[in-house]
Structure 1
Amino acid sequence: MSVEIPDKLFFKIGEVASITGVKPHVLRYWESEFGAFSPSKSRSQQRQYQKKDIELVLQLKDLLYNQGFTIAGARKALRASKGSAPKTEQKSDREHLLEIRTELRNLRKRLDD
């Protein structure tokens, strides 16, 4: 299930509830239970969620509602996923070294010119 998140900097709690299908009181409860997200507050003390917060809410919703995790289990799953990046983003040491070597060769070539 893919959700379209509008392209803007901040979202009010009602907007987040509408986008994610999670009621505002549940969002406030999740803030207290999961240290992973804590929206900033405006001068008028309204919560200001960012896109990353909405993505986290969607992840929590999936863990709790679809996969049947408990709050404690979802907390552990979030901690575990934080430590490991998706496979597409991970590079081996060899790949990093090859990139560095290429960059150094390009730099040397520019200096020699």
Structure 2
Amino acid sequence: MQIELPEKRYYSIGEVANAFDVNTSLIRFWEKEFDILKPKKNAKGNRKFTPEDIKNLKFIFHLVKERGFTLEGAKIHLKEEKKKPLETFEIISKLKNVKAQLLKIKEQL
């Protein structure tokens, strides 16, 4: 999945929800369910997601929406593998982006 967000230090929950094409309520729900998600909150209580939070959300989205894990299964997967699957997932995502770009170039030829 390709998420397009501008390079920023913090993202609002609306920006994140639009990037993932989900409702903000799902993002809030996942925040409660997964300990790995800890967005900062300002004085008004608005959530501000860091790029690290976005990486974690991408991985959770991949597990739940793309691979079909249940929430409990995704939690167990995250706890068992800690950082290793996240790094592997990032590498696979980058390779998929490179593949998509190469296919696009091939079509233009």
Between structure 1 and structure 2, the one with the greater Rg is: 1
In the alignment, the residues of structure 1 paired with residue 11 and residue 47 of structure 2 have an alpha-carbon distance, to the nearest angstrom, of 8
Q: Say if 1:20 and 1:54, in contact at 8 Å, map to a contact too.
A: no
- 1:16 to partner: Cα distance: 0.5
- 1:6 to partner: Cα distance: 1.5
| TM-score after normalising by structure 2 | 0.71
Secondary structure at the residue paired with 1:48? Answer: strand
Matched letter for residue 68 of structure 1:
G
Aligned to 1:99: none
Per-residue CA shift, 1:45-69, capped at 9, x if unaligned?
1001111111211211111111110
Gaps of 5+ in 1: 88-113
- 1:80 to partner: Cα distance: 2.6
Aligned to 2:7: 7
- 1:39 to partner: Cα distance: 0.7
In the alignment, the residues of structure 1 paired with residue 74 and residue 4 of structure 2 have an alpha-carbon distance, to the nearest angstrom, of 23
Secondary structure at the residue paired with 1:16? Answer: helix
Q: Say if 1:5 and 1:51, in contact at 8 Å, map to a contact too.
A: no
Does 1:79 pair with 2:79?
Answer: yes
Aligned to 2:62: 62
- 1:76 to partner: Cα distance: 1.2
In the alignment, the residues of structure 2 paired with residue 31 and residue 78 of structure 1 have an alpha-carbon distance, to the nearest angstrom, of 14
Gaps of 5+ in 2: 89-109
